[in-house]
Amino acid sequence: MTDSLATLAQRLQQFAQARDWQRFHSPKNLASALAVEAGELLEHFQWLTEEQSRQLEAERKAEVAEEMADVLLYLVQLATVMEVDLLEAAQRKIERNERRFPAL
Amino acid sequence: MTDSLATLAQRLQQFAQARDWQRFHSPKNLASALAVEAGELLEHFQWLTEEQSRQLEAERKAEVAEEMADVLLYLVQLATVMEVDLLEAAQRKIERNERRFPAL
Amino acid sequence: MTDSLATLAQRLQQFAQARDWQRFHSPKNLASALAVEAGELLEHFQWLTEEQSRQLEAERKAEVAEEMADVLLYLVQLATVMEVDLLEAAQRKIERNERRFPAL
Amino acid sequence: MTDSLATLAQRLQQFAQARDWQRFHSPKNLASALAVEAGELLEHFQWLTEEQSRQLEAERKAEVAEEMADVLLYLVQLATVMEVDLLEAAQRKIERNERRFPAL
């Protein structure tokens, strides 16, 4: 359980509370912050070929992993303030995609 | 275990394999797709006040949850192709933030 | 003069006034809207190779041009509410880039 | 004429040629770069209220103007490689919006 999204959500809630940051964490602001982080993630790839993007060196890969973490942290916080069950929403979406795009 | 990110990752890998979509799923393309979905998520909030964003009606909230799911699905797929452990990266980032922004 | 950015800015100001939309057009909201449109623009390219992106068919190209127009319209409106001279800012940025990245 | 978008486009073309950067400037890559800059622009506003975003101090405003310039520079370069007339596309879009959203 220590690795789960639920644990992450709790820890982030305590983090925000301890800094009195919850007043900044409206869904509107968290969605903006997530889009900003998605841009920082994309920045690592913008001038690479697809092939190069598949073969990042270790240092660059660590930077990319950190941006991915930022995206996840804002997504989890948005899910908390909106009371959305992320994994349930993800499973529903996969099922919809499975119906929408039949396998070969 | 059925709810975990690992299970989600496996299911998405099978989904892509069954459609022969893995050739499209370079890190560069997945990072683009994630940024596009982050934009679609933000679109729901762009003209709302922060206050309104805290009080979405059920239908709008369901649409927002679906966009959040899309973000998560691409993030998990990017983690798979890059062999990044998302939860570990998230925990490292929280620890860094805890050192960087001391509690009040 | 009918084609200039200044004329575009004026026309957009009248458009917003005639619909009482100026109250929505805070810099924060316009920057969000611009990011959303940048995502819609990127969506057209997300699964294409770079080569394919250089050879769009006419219909797709017209859709891309429309998304580019949306980006420009929000950028011009943001410049109006922030009283930024876009072309002057662009020229300053080019000069900075010319110093920062010497020619071969 | 020295201030026009056309002049800007020419100058950017020379800038890219002099650095042999045109091979990086596929529409796909330029659309990514534009989305990244749109994120950097949005970053300035993500934790501000709308009211605060209307009253930026001079230093912050100059930083925002620089990000707006970056967005315009990539948009103009994308228009060049795609042979899109930006101002014409913008005018067409305004006319479409005028029909779609009647004035009060």
The pLDDT, as a whole number, for residue B104 is 84
Tokens 């900044």, residue located = A24
Tokens 């394999």, residue located = B17
D24 touches chain A (CB under 8 A): yes
Chain D hits for A38, Cβ within 8 Å: 39
Cβ neighbors of A26 (< 8 A, separation 6 or more) are A81, B50, B51, B53, B54
Query: Between chains, do D46 and A32 touch, taking CB under 8 Å as contact?
Result: yes
Residue type, A7: T
SS3 letters for chain B?
CCCCHHHHHHHHHHHHHHCCCHHHCCHHHHHHHHHHHHHHHHHCCCCCCHHHHCCCCHHHHHHHHHHHHHHHHHHHHHHHHHCCCHHHHHHHHHHHHHHHCCCC
Query: Between chains, do B42 and A65 touch, taking CB under 8 Å as contact?
Result: no
Cβ neighbors of A104 (< 8 A, separation 6 or more) are B18, B19, B20
Average pLDDT in the D23-34 region?
A: 98
The pLDDT, as a whole number, for residue A2 is 45
* CA pair distance D9, D81, nearest whole angstrom: 10
CATH number for the domain harbouring residue A84: 1.10.287.1080
Of the residues D24, D30, D32, the best mutation for testing chain B's interface (the one with the most B CB atoms within 10 Å of its CB) is: D32
The encoded tokens of residue D81 equal 């490689």
Residue D25 pLDDT more than 60? yes
Query: Could you tell me the residue range of the domain that residue A25 belongs to?
Result: 3-100
The pLDDT, as a whole number, for residue C3 is 56
Q: How many domains, chain B?
A: 1
The encoded tokens of residue B38 equal 């982050």
Percent of chain B past pLDDT 90, that is, above it, reads: 95
The pLDDT, as a whole number, for residue C2 is 44
The encoded tokens of residue A14 equal 């305590």
Candidate from B36, B45, B46 with C-beta closest to C43: B36
Q: CA quadruple A68, B60, A89, B9: dihedral positive or negative?
A: negative
The pLDDT, as a whole number, for residue A20 is 96
Give residue-wise pLDDT tens across range C7-56: 999 999 999 999 999 999 999 999 999 999 999 999 999 999 999 999 99
Percent of chain C past pLDDT 90, that is, above it, reads: 95
Q: Say what the alpha-carbon torsion angle C88, C73, C57, C44 is, to the nearest 10 degrees.
A: 100
The pLDDT, as a whole number, for residue D104 is 84
The encoded tokens of residue C65 equal 């041009």
Candidate from A32, A39, A50 with C-beta closest to C32: A32
The pLDDT, as a whole number, for residue B3 is 57
This model of the complex carries an ipTM of 0.96
Q: Would you say how long chain A is, in residues?
A: 104
The pLDDT, as a whole number, for residue B1 is 41
* Weakly modelled stretches of chain B, pLDDT under 70: 1-3
Average pLDDT in the C67-84 region?
A: 98
The pLDDT, as a whole number, for residue C1 is 41
DSSP 8-state code for residue D101:
S
